[in-house]
């Protein structure tokens, strides 16, 4: 990563902010020093460039989202991240591991609202054998053949690799054979190990995170890149995180037939009910929007950038559509991890709500698949009046568990 520290203007250490923004607006690639300097520029100036790039790099009049469901198959976890309010030890009364029928019932509810994928992740539960995972994937594919399964964070994959006596390649082949479609890039947080070590000493290290996602990309699996701010990381560390993702994307696009990260999702640390509460600064809406705009500028090879409503609420997510985001993520019919650590009391969104956010911001709402391909442009008037929207409003109850 040493090349990232080259000053933008040879022979000078002082970077000219206006010149950096001009270069960014022309679509030129910025260095580590230039990206770090963006944090000291007025946010409206940075946002204007980010929005212009977003209009160029993803469909200009459209804001997309996915109808999906989060399924957390177990909350038992032995990693014990300080920022996590979701995990339990096996002895805690409210620890759980779902059986296949319970998971299948959740997917049936997703199918009823025309959902197309599940995002299935859990804790690192040492009681589960490889058979649980492969049996689960097979069960889902047999009973819900049209549903895409994006499952298991790099942390869970690392556990499986260490525990089941398979190489990473063998493990991924086994999971793919059983039905795995994608590997969400959760657990990215800040991919700088001194930030990670403070927030979660046992957490997967950045090298392993990239090694696992690189192998997934090589095998054609869906992946996404992620970032969480608010641990107390420096601007330079945030810039390093973005550049590591940009480097991996360059590599994957060139070497794996264009199968890199399908998108980038970024949110802010939530610390309520966690051991980090009061110890990590978190991030304000201003910081979130600034980081989003800088990510859009820095990640010149990732067209699809999501706004985060679970961590920031609908209003900031809507504003984010003018700070570099072109997508509202997904409905997340059930989400337990971010919500356990405190959020805006929103565990999932309805189609109607996401259509309204996009439409009121001046964009054409579009329902997409997990690869960011548009499936349908919903009839906005019908959705906002009644019909589809009203039906989906009733689904609020589904995500409340």
The binding site for ligand SF4 (CB under 6 A) comprises 77, 79-81, 84, 86-87, 123-124, 155
Choose between 225 and 274: whose C-beta lies nearer to ligand SF4. 274
Choose between 307 and 340: whose C-beta lies nearer to ligand SF4. 340
Choose between 34 and 155: whose C-beta lies nearer to ligand SF4. 155
Choose between 123 and 188: whose C-beta lies nearer to ligand SF4. 123
Is 240 marked as binding a ligand?
A: no
49 CB contacts (<8 Å, ≥6 apart)? 21, 24, 25, 293, 297
Nearest approach, Cβ of 54 to ligand SF4 (angstroms)?
30
Choose between 78 and 174: whose C-beta lies nearer to ligand SF4. 78
Choose between 80 and 232: whose C-beta lies nearer to ligand SF4. 80
- Is the dihedral angle over the CA atoms 208, 251, 51, 25 positive or is it negative? positive
- Tally: H helices and E strands in the chain: 16, 12
Is there a contact between 47 and 293 (Cβ–Cβ < 8 Å)? yes
Nearest approach, Cβ of 367 to ligand SF4 (angstroms)?
29
Is 370 marked as binding a ligand?
A: no
Closest CA to 241 of 318, 161, 295, 182: 295
Is there a contact between 173 and 393 (Cβ–Cβ < 8 Å)? no
- In the chain, the N- to C-terminal Cα span, in Å, equals 44
Nearest approach, Cβ of 208 to ligand SF4 (angstroms)?
13
Is 264 marked as binding a ligand?
A: no
Is there a contact between 309 and 328 (Cβ–Cβ < 8 Å)? yes
Q: What would the DSSP string read from start to end of 144-211?
A: -TT-EEEE--HHHHHHHHHHSS--HHHHHHHHHHHT--EE--TT-S---HHHHHHH-TTSPPHHHHHH
Is 153 marked as binding a ligand?
A: yes
Nearest approach, Cβ of 339 to ligand SF4 (angstroms)?
13
Is 83 marked as binding a ligand?
A: yes
Residue 205: both structure tokens together: 């290290």
Nearest approach, Cβ of 325 to ligand SF4 (angstroms)?
24
CB count within 10 Å of CB 27 equals 12
- How far is it, in rounded angstroms, from Cα 107 to Cα 103? 6
Is 77 marked as binding a ligand?
A: yes
Give the DSSP letter of residue 38: H
Choose between 34 and 189: whose C-beta lies nearer to ligand SF4. 189
Nearest approach, Cβ of 120 to ligand SF4 (angstroms)?
13
Give the DSSP letter of residue 174: H
Is 84 marked as binding a ligand?
A: yes
Nearest approach, Cβ of 269 to ligand SF4 (angstroms)?
12
Provide the 3-class DSSP secondary structure of residue 322. coil
Q: Which residues are annotated as a binding site for [4Fe-4S] cluster?
A: 77, 81, 84
Q: Which residues are annotated as a binding site for (3R)-3-methyl-D-ornithine?
A: 153, 308, 330
Q: Which residues are annotated as a binding site for S-adenosyl-L-methionine?
A: 83, 189
């Amino acid at each position: 990563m040493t090349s990232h520290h080259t000053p933008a203007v040879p022979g000078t250490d002082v970077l000219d902010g206006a010149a950096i923004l001009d270069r960014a607006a022309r679509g030129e690639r910025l260095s580590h020093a230039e990206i770090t300097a963006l944090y000291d520029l007025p946010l409206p100036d940075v946002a204007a460039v980010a929005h212009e790039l977003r209009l160029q790099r993803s469909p200009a009049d459209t804001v997309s989202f996915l109808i999906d469901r989060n399924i957390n198959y177990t909350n038992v976890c032995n990693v014990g991240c300080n920022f996590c309010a979701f995990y339990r030890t096996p002895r805690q009364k409210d620890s759980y591991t779902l059986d296949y029928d319970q998971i299948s019932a959740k997917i049936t509810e997703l199918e009823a609202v025309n959902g197309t994928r599940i995002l299935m992740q859990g804790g690192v539960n040492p009681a589960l054998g490889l058979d649980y995972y492969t049996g689960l994937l097979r069960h889902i594919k047999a009973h819900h053949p049209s549903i895409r399964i994006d499952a298991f964070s790099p942390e869970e994959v690392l556990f499986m690799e260490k525990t089941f006596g398979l190489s990473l390649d063998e493990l991924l082949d086994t999971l793919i054979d059983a039905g795995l479609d994608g590997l969400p890039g959760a657990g990215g947080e800040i991919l700088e190990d001194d930030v990670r070590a403070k927030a979660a000493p046992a957490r997967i290290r950045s090298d392993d995170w990239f090694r696992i996602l690189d192998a997934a990309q090589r095998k054609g699996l869906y992946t996404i890149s992620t970032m969480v701010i608010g641990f107390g990381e420096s601007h330079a560390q945030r810039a390093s995180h973005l550049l590591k993702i940009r480097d991996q994307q360059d590599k994957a696009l060139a070497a794996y037939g264009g199968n890199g990260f399908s998108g980038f999702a970024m949110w802010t640390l939530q610390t309520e009910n966690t051991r980090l509460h009061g110890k990590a600064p978190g991030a304000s809406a201003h910081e979130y929007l600034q980081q989003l705009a800088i990510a859009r500028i820095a990640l010149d090879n990732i067209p699809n950038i999501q706004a985060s409503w679970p961590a920031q609420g609908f209003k900031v997510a809507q504003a984010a559509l003018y700070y570099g985001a072109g997508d509202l993520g997904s409905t997340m019919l059930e989400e337990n991890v971010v919500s356990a650590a405190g959020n805006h009391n929103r565990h999932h969104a309805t189609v109607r709500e996401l259509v309204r956010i996009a439409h009121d911001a001046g964009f054409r709402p579009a329902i997409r698949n997990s690869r960011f391909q548009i499936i349908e442009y919903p009839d906005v008037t019908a959705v906002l009046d009644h019909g589809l929207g009203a039906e989906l409003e009733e689904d609020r109850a589904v995500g409340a568990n």
